[in-house]
Structure 1
């Protein structure tokens, strides 16, 4: 089979730990071919969704910490998305309007016979922070609002609160508001841009000290290990991008309950791969754009996450 990755520019990837590269390695190990393109390479001509795609191979002697881990087979070729056995949307956030436009193109391409994972409508309809509101029984008390009085009242009720933008990634823009926070007004004004931008507030979950767990769900079923991203001392955020350290661990009974409740429901909507974020007993985010942590889990446990994903992908394509 031949797969297309819609992805960030390859030289910018940290191949030694990048989950998309891990998927490429899994595909190559099973004899599949793949090409790459950026979102800017997508276009529509005479109603057909097309792409300027470049075939690539992984170097046999690749230095995954370097920049020469791949080779380009030939010049880019113009073709339709339906010409590939499947398209993998692996572009990292931000989830801006260009990203939204791309999901619409994927929807059109799907109507023309393309197979896209995760599906365009599924990505668009499950924004990573707002998606948890569908599963309120599994979340800590949460408020989504841009109203300053309502946000202040939520903080007064719960005392210790996390506030964050709806479109952030890697822990950016996250603040912890403790009781008596002297900068409460300034922080809320900044995040909401003076009441013009909606944000999320959640009751603080003390179990963050044990790690922000990333649970990968493939084809509706969870990988049996999570990566607990443990914050630096004195830090609120466990994100690896914010300096957290990753510790792989087996899923608890509660982790499994949460993952199965979310995974089986969302898999039916075209989400082959989900990254569920769990702190303590609560879901905090549902990542659907380009979930990561494949490499860290595999290196620490020996469980081949990429191999399992490739099997699920090939099975999904074959079932079409």
Structure 2
């Protein structure tokens, strides 16, 4: 098997917390070919999608310690065709560069891409939850997205809640998430100006979302594989912070999904599979779906430690099964075509 990870630079990895590293280590442990690249290293040569990749050198024995594996990993630089890989993992941090998807379009019928190109187009930012029809806001908090400052001010004013969540459309890791209180309306203009305005004269989209009671206690991160939950954890905000993301200083706790949370996962799962979002992270608060993370969902390390499991094995097993199934279908089709041709 040949695996390619389109991600952030190897040097930026925190070996104690990085989910991509867990996946890479699992692939290498199986003796498969592993290559890493970044979006900036994708290229076209003779009308063929290629990449300047770092190929992991074969090791006689892959260390069981992820930290040791990371520390001792050695690479060689190669220019390789994307179509030569069996699996391509998209693990780049948001926001998504749509040019990357243009490169992948040319190989999407030949390579198993996780997540699917069209799914990533639809779901790479926080607008995706709008695809889930929930007119009574029973599962998804009332959400408003706009660049229009006057409209956003009106939404805040007309809200029945004393608090709302504001965040940038393309943020990640909890960056830019704040709690708005109606009592601080004198600061509203400057806050909206800050979030909407850009130095290049363009403007950013801003999300306003009803505050869900219990948010101060943290959120639940659920990892979904082919529409089914495979692990979860509670993320608790640092004192004085509204954000529960670990990257923003939050802490983690063991969590067992409640019946209501399992029901929500069952409700979301088929849509994820339909859109080719085979590996995703759901963020839940108070039994409601806040976000769907599809680019580089994290939490594998933490859930593993809290529950003494190895989720990366399930994920790579799933990819291997998909490839074997595809190869079996291709082989059968080839045999059937020969039967027809020899008739």
Instruction: Tell me the TM-score normalised to structure 2 length.
Output: 0.85
Shift of 1:62: 5.6
Shift of 1:63: 6.9
The reply to whether residue 214 of structure 1 matches residue 231 of structure 2 is no
| Cα-to-partner distance string for 1:182-206 (whole Å, 9 max, x where unaligned) | 3111111211228933211001112
Q: Would you say the 8 A contact 1:11–1:67 is kept in 2?
A: no
Shift of 1:250: 1.0
Q: Would you say the 8 A contact 2:95–2:125 is kept in 1?
A: no
The 3-state SS of whatever aligns with 1:168 is: coil
Match of 1:285 in 2: 291
- Written as runs of structure 1 = structure 2, the 5 A alignment for 1:105-120 is 105-111=103-109, 113-120=110-117
Q: Would you say the 8 A contact 2:22–2:66 is kept in 1?
A: no
Q: Would you say the 8 A contact 1:229–1:246 is kept in 2?
A: yes
Match of 2:131 in 1: 134
Looking at structure 2, the residues matched to 32 and 273 of structure 1 have their Cα atoms a distance apart, in angstroms, of: 20
Match of 1:7 in 2: 7
Match of 1:20 in 2: 20
Q: Which moved more, 1:201-210 or 1:61-70?
A: 61-70
| Cα-to-partner distance string for 1:140-182 (whole Å, 9 max, x where unaligned) | 1111112222212221223211111101111111121112113
Looking at structure 2, the residues matched to 201 and 192 of structure 1 have their Cα atoms a distance apart, in angstroms, of: 12
Q: Would you say the 8 A contact 2:226–2:272 is kept in 1?
A: no
* 5+ residue gaps, structure 1: none
Looking at structure 1, the residues matched to 65 and 163 of structure 2 have their Cα atoms a distance apart, in angstroms, of: 48
Shift of 1:66: 9.5
Rg comparison, structure with higher value: 2
The 3-state SS of whatever aligns with 1:125 is: helix
Q: Which moved more, 1:289-298 or 1:126-135?
A: 126-135
Looking at structure 2, the residues matched to 265 and 222 of structure 1 have their Cα atoms a distance apart, in angstroms, of: 14
The 1:25/1:66 distance shift into structure 2, 3 A limit, reads: closer
The 1:33/1:7 distance shift into structure 2, 3 A limit, reads: same
Aligned residues: 313
Q: Would you say the 8 A contact 1:7–1:37 is kept in 2?
A: yes
Q: Which moved more, 1:147-156 or 1:242-251?
A: 147-156
Q: Which residue, out of 165, 170, 188, partners 2:168? A: 165
Looking at structure 2, the residues matched to 173 and 17 of structure 1 have their Cα atoms a distance apart, in angstroms, of: 22
Match of 1:193 in 2: 197
* 5+ residue gaps, structure 2: 327-343
